[in-house]
Amino acid sequence: MSAATYSQPEIDALWRTLRERRDMRHFLPDPLPDGLLERLVEAAHLAPSVGFMQPWRFIRITEPTLRAQIHTQVEAERRATAAALPSRNDEFLQVKIEGIRDCAEVLVAALMPQREKHLIGRRTLPEMDIASVGCAIQNMWLAARAEGIGLGWVSFFEPDALAALLGLPPGARPLAILCIGQVEAFYPRPMFADAGWGRRLPLAEVLFENRWPEGAGGTPTAY
């Protein structure tokens, strides 16, 4: 394998995917193409992981009852979040945040148990396992987008309740409910941006030189 740059059309294809990937919440009922789900898990599994620990595990939900129970948990947390916001509570409830009942496939992504045995690259940063799962799901997201398939990452749930529902062993922890399916169209912009819940920060606000600039803070909230 050489260090040669890819062809311009290859670079452009990657950038198209980076720009057009969206967190999707509206789905068509059609099934996924044959073999696509496995390809998406393969894409995730090609991700880097700290100390090569591969901390990600995926649970495909095929029982309709289980999917309905997951939806119930998410709906409860959506309402608890709305109640916890300091303002715009009702407005938040009008933003669609998940398509669990409509999408073709639901996958739950979880951290594996016994991660404390893995010290390399996380002796002082144990949260590197979470970052690795983020990398894996981002791979899956991009692979889905390139094949015209939508993916939404839902993090509105109580992790212990979801872990109990799916029989996770002690030490494992769910991080994502992934909704995957055909879509009518991809949103042109992030849905929270379109709904007035944020704006893309200018690059100058996220890129500094040598030291943190005096007075630079976090991203403002919309509430």
Q: Is 102 in the site for its own copies (CB under 8 A)?
A: no
- The one-letter amino acid code at 61 reads I
Q: For helices 128-146 and 8-20, what crossing angle results, to 10°?
A: 110
Tracing tokens 């099934």 back to the chain, one arrives at: 31
Structure-block tokens of residue 88? 């715009």
Beta carbon of residue 177, minimum distance to its own copies (angstroms, whole number): 11
Candidate list 79, 89, 102, 182; residue touching its own copies; CB under 8 A: 182
Is position 156 an interface residue for its own copies (rule: CB under 8 A)? yes
| Among the listed residues 32, 105, 115, 179, the single contact to its own copies using CB under 8 A | 115
- The nearest distance, CB 87 to its own copies, in angstroms, is 11
What minimum distance in Å lies between the beta carbon of 157 and its own copies? 7
Identity at 147, one-letter amino acid code: E
Q: Are 109 and 56 in contact (CB under 8 A)?
A: yes
Residue 170 interacts with its own copies (CB under 8 A): yes or no: no
Is residue 104 close enough to count as binding its own copies by CB under 8 A?
Answer: no
Look at residue 92 and give its three-state secondary structure: helix
Scanning the structure block, which residue is given the tokens 């939806």?
71
**Cα(170)–Cα(204) distance, integer angstroms:** 43
Residues 3-62 that bind its own copies (CB under 8 A): 3-6, 9-11, 13-21, 23, 38, 41-43, 45-48, 50-62
Give min distance, CB of 178 to its own copies, in A.
12
Q: Is 130 in the site for its own copies (CB under 8 A)?
A: yes
Nearest to 154 by CA among 95, 91, 88: 95
Report if residue 209 touches its own copies, rule: CB under 8 A.
yes
**Contact between 196 and its own copies per CB under 8 A:** no
- 71, 75, 77, 102: which one binds its own copies (CB under 8 A): 77
- The answer to the question of residue 2 lying near its own copies (CB under 8 A) is yes
Instruction: Please answer whether residues 113 and 169 qualify as being in contact, where contact means their C-beta atoms are separated by less than 8 angstroms.
Output: yes
C-beta of 133: minimal distance to its own copies in Å? Answer: 6
CB 150 within 8 A of CB 102: no
